[in-house]
Amino acid sequence: MHITSERPEDAAAIRALTEAAFRDMPHSSQTEARIIDALRAAGALTLSLVAIEEGVIVGHAAFSPVQIAGALGDWYGLGPVSVRPDRQRSGIGQALIREGLRRLKSAMAAGCVVLGAPAYYGRFGFEADPDLHYGAAPPVYFQRIILEGSPPKGEVRFHPAFDASSD
Ligand SMILES: CC(C)(COP(=O)(O)OP(=O)(O)OC[C@H]1O[C@@H](n2cnc3c(N)ncnc32)[C@H](O)[C@@H]1OP(=O)(O)O)[C@@H](O)C(=O)NCCC(=O)NCCS
């Protein structure tokens, strides 16, 4: 398995993979694949990493810019992240996320936020911060990792692609 940036011809495979990964997830809005397409169309897919096994895409992670009023430096949001159902729990998701964070750090990003299970994202260093909010999301599920500088405070706004894709 190796991890690399998406190529233009990977878009359809990423869409299919994302739909398959989220199909049976109770927390899913089933809009994740459309969000990725909308981010790409808006030029806001900062990182779109694919995990490839024997020439086939088995995992994907997206990172896009987020806005935090008053934050210094560039902040990003992680997600959606998808691993093909029959290949889950074999380290692919972790490898994608670690590589994404490594690339953000090399690009001098200030940090990254994620909405998801603390038991999963805590292992990368993500943690909830009572001073950082995302809409009505339960505070323990909204987490951030600082790559450079001090903790930002306030409300986080994801790219509009995350809203526009809900209808
Ligand atoms: C979540 C997902 C990306 C993780 O990728 P993965 O390759 O399956 O996971 P990894 O092999 O990297 O990690 C496996 C570990 O994560 C844990 N894990 C996986 N999903 C978890 C979750 N939702 N909550 C808590 N722990 C989770 C496993 O128990 C395992 O723990 P262990 O290492 O202590 O045994 C993948 O399972 C997936 O595509 N799920 C469906 C879509 C989804 O929910 N995406 C994330 C939404 S924010």
**Quick check: CB of 89 below 6 Å from ligand 1?**
yes
**Alpha carbon distances (Å) from 131 to 15, 22, 114, 115, 152:** 34, 30, 15, 15, 8
Question: Is 0.85 surpassed by the pTM of this model?
Answer: yes
118 CB under 6 A from ligand 1?
no
- Residue 72 C-alpha to ligand 1 middle, in angstroms? 31
End-to-end CA distance of the chain: 35
Residue 157 is part of a domain; what is its CATH number?
3.40.630.30
Closest ligand 1 atom to the C-alpha of 84? 39
- Which whole-number Å values give the CA distances from 31 to 44, 48, 94, 144, 156, in the listed order? 17, 17, 22, 23, 20
Query: What's the token pair of residue 19?
Result: 């739909």
Cα–Cα distances in Å, from 84 out to 21, 24, 93? 6, 12, 10
Residue among 15, 167, 157 at smallest CA distance from 77: 157
The finding on whether 27 has its CB within 6 A of some atom of ligand 1 is no
Q: Whose CA is nearest to atom 30 of ligand 1?
A: 89
Which ranges in 23-160 belong to alpha helices (H)? 32-41, 92-106, 118-121
Would you give the DSSP letter of residue 151?
Answer: -
The confidence score (pLDDT) of residue 165 equals: 58
For the chain, residues with pLDDT lower than 70 are: 164-167
Q: Transcribe 53-81 into DSSP letters.
A: ETTEEEEEEEEEEEEETT--S-EEEEEEE
| Residue 49 CA, ligand 1 centroid: distance in Å | 17
Q: Which domain, by its residues, includes 22?
A: 2-164
For 63-79, the pLDDT digits (tens) are: 999 999 989 999 999 99
State residue 164's pLDDT score.
Answer: 65
What spacing in Å lies between the alpha carbon of 158 and ligand 1's midpoint?
A: 22
Q: 81 CA to middle of ligand 1, Å?
A: 9
The reported pLDDT for the residue numbered 27 is: 85
Give the distance (Å) from ligand 1 centre to CA of residue 93. Answer: 7
Measured CA distances, 101 to 15, 142, 148 (Å): 22, 17, 12
Q: CA-to-CA distance for 34 and 53, rounded, in angstroms?
A: 24
The number of distinct structural domains making up the chain is: 1
- Which helix (H) or strand (E) segment is 112 a member of? strand 111-115
Q: Is the CB of 165 under 6 A from ligand 1?
A: no
